[in-house]
Structure 1
């Protein structure tokens, strides 16, 4: 991983008015709005020239934003705060004018645990109590400071386990989660789609809980925009936000599900397998072990005020995803300076979007 320079000689590439906007993304199911806006001409219709940049992971997105090699990106909801605070990088002004999606993550446990009789959280706790002296469980997360780590710790705590004392969390790149389950290096993980579906499809794991049930309504990915870009290219950023808001509406429409699968599976975009993309987009989620769940809120691209980067959403991010030292550096007055609901409002005015459908919470478990 390349860390951006932190010395006094660091020079960030300056934004260039009129140049194509460089928009980064990581190939996950929830990058869909960026692909849709580009492929269906939503950027072009708003007078924007946008260059999409597929990135290996969040460290790459962070570093390229810091260095000015990207103007904006599909990013975890805590990244704008982490950049402003200089967590692992040069402090960099960053704002979020749009929440791209809610939810989209899940906790997956290894198939070998199923063979031990573990079928849910309570049976995991019971097994852990019996095995306490023999070995410690190991769970994978994308980052120790991500929504995935918080969701996993929260789920484990509700099951009755102490994630700080009774198991070990390790950082593993999402594409390697399934192989590590199969090899026995991991007992479970929390990650975004499609990596849970990949592990389940390969027979390496089974889904124990989706993030829509662990923390209903939690923000997941945002449009992260460099502060300089938001200031110097204000009209372009509003247009960019409007185009992506329109794309979120497209992604939220059930009749567009198969076109999304087709787009995301293309090699020049996310190159993700069709069978692993469909569960999160449809809400009909194969859990493994001949079980299927219906989670209409598994991945929410647009519903109610889901896309609005409100101070309430910003407060949730600060409270749950930042450590105590970082939280102390973000007073309430700063929340609206990072999550820019004002820019979102301008974008929504341009397209007249005022979604009013509630979150469904009609989650059911089926046996097939």
Structure 2
């Protein structure tokens, strides 16, 4: 039974992008009501806002970069706020986007970008962005540069720019490229501001992207409400991943109060084909994953990928608490399992079929 002693309106943050879809679908299609939990969604300008509001208690929960659980729990440059996740909300979902100028200079991939950087060495410094220091976009932007022999520390300038602002900054010449979650790459291409070099799923398939994060205090105080929200999000994620529902998902997300973007900017990733720009397209089948292939399960393997990226890119600030021993307490597969038990019978059956297929794919 839900705890009636606490305020029922649970405030959940999101940043407008495709990987917040399960939150919005859960609200619009009544999944929160189905599990008897009252939720208020709060659209945020960027991840710094989400992080600070979680710390200050202005948000009870949020969809967030997979690293934020570690960032908050270990106090990586912020006030230490023990947090956890019981659900991964998306895999993949990002793209590497470059300026039209780089295309005109002959850039087609990371290796040809290296040639341009070498040509302009000493004359110009090229700037590339992620959306948060501790985010897959930052790691993957750096990984992509490294794949072409480009040192992110010495050969280019790295910047952090909120997702909704990357496209305009590219157009104004403040950025030469960026890695961002959809739809901020397809929107850029449709507006003629840049082109997509590749999807991150092309070089890091099934990478963890976003999680549903809560503070330990919230889970302890309102555990049953937390479980109810997870069940609603699981049902919504299942809905979002069915091909026959993707166009409806795009229509809902496109509304002014949510992403406020043309529906075509959303359909390219959700339905396909994915427009890379300059007459090129890509298959969108794996562009973003919400539920299938056991995507939602917060496994130790997914958490380990996040830790490996933080260490690889030397972002751990020599914090002794940031280690693999922390994984079981912040990536809570036990809470995920507890939430599954309370799913409605139809949802439970669909979940079991999905996980059986995922297991078969892995064996």
* Normalised TM-score (structure 1): 0.89
Q: 1:84 corresponds to which residue?
A: 73
Q: Distance in 2 between matches of 1:32 and 1:284?
A: 19
Matched with 1:365 is: none
Q: Which runs of 4+ in 1 moved over 4 A?
A: none
Structure 1 residue 159 corresponds to structure 2 residue 148: yes
Name which of 96, 99, 107 aligns with 1:110.
Answer: 99
Aligned residue for 1:145?
A: 134
Structure 1 position 177 matched with structure 2 position 174: no
Structure 1 residue aligned with 2:338? 346
Distance in 2 (CA, whole Å) between partners of 1:332 and 1:142 is: 25
Task: For 1:176-255, list aligned pairs within 5 A.
Answer: 176-255=165-244
Structure 1 runs not aligned, ≥5 long: 1-14, 362-368
| CA shift for structure 1 position 16 | 6.5
- Distance in 2, matches of 1:307 and 1:292, equals 28
Aligned counterpart, 1:299: 288
Which of 117, 122, 137 lines up with 1:128 in the alignment? 117
Distance 1:159 1:286 in 2: 23
Matched, 1:334 2:326: yes
Alpha-carbon offset, residue 127 of structure 1: 2.2
Secondary structure of 2:36 counterpart: coil
How many equivalent pairs are there? 346
| Contact 2:68/2:134 (8 A) holds in 1 | no
Give 1:273's aligned residue: 262
Worse-superposed segment, 127-136 or 243-252: 127-136
Aligned equivalents of 2:89, 2:175: Cα separation in 1: 30
1:286 pairs with one of 271, 275, 278: 275
1-structure distance, mates of 2:286, 2:319: 29
Please show how residues 349-360 of structure 1 align to structure 2 within 5 Å. 349-351=341-343, 352=348, 353-354=351-352, 355-356=354-355, 357-358=357-358
Aligned-residue RMSD, C-alpha: 1.9
How far apart, CA to CA, are the structure 1 residues paired with 2:136 and 2:272?
A: 20
Describe the shift of the 1:164–1:16 C-alpha distance in structure 2 as closer, same or farther (beyond 3 A): farther
Q: How far is the alpha carbon of 1:194 from its aligned partner? A: 1.0
Q: Could you tell me how far 1:326 is from its partner in structure 2?
A: 5.4
Gaps of 5+ in 2: none
Partner secondary structure for residue 107 of structure 2? coil
Q: Does residue 119 of the first structure (1) align with residue 128 of the second (2)? A: no
Measure, in 2, the Cα distance between the counterparts of 1:293 and 1:113: 20
Report the 3-state secondary structure (helix = DSSP H, G, I; strand = E; otherwise coil) of the residue aligned with 1:190: strand
Post-superposition offset of 1:358 = 4.8
Q: Bigger CA drift: 130-139 or 19-28?
A: 130-139
Seen in structure 2, the aligned counterparts of structure 1 residues 153 and 84 have a Cα distance that, compared at 3 Å, is same
CA contact (8 A) 1:151 1:214 kept: no
Q: Does the Cα contact within 8 Å between 1:105 and 1:191 map onto a contact in 2?
A: yes
Aligned match of 2:23: 34
1:283, CA displacement in angstroms?
Answer: 4.2
Cα drift, residue 156 of structure 1 = 0.8
Confirm or deny: 8 A CA contact 1:283 1:297 kept in the other structure: no
Deviation string, structure 1 residues 151-176 (Cα, Å, up to 9, x no partner): 01101111111111111111222222
**CA-to-partner distance for each residue in 1:42-72, whole Å, 9 max, x for gaps?**
0111111111111111111111111111111
* Counterpart-to-counterpart distance in 1, 2:62 and 2:97: 27
User: TM-score, normalized by length of structure 2?
Assistant: 0.91
User: Which segment is superposed worse, 76-85 or 180-189?
Assistant: 180-189
SS in 2 for 1:221: strand
1:88-117 Cα distance to aligned partner (Å, 9 max, x none): 332112110000000111110101111112
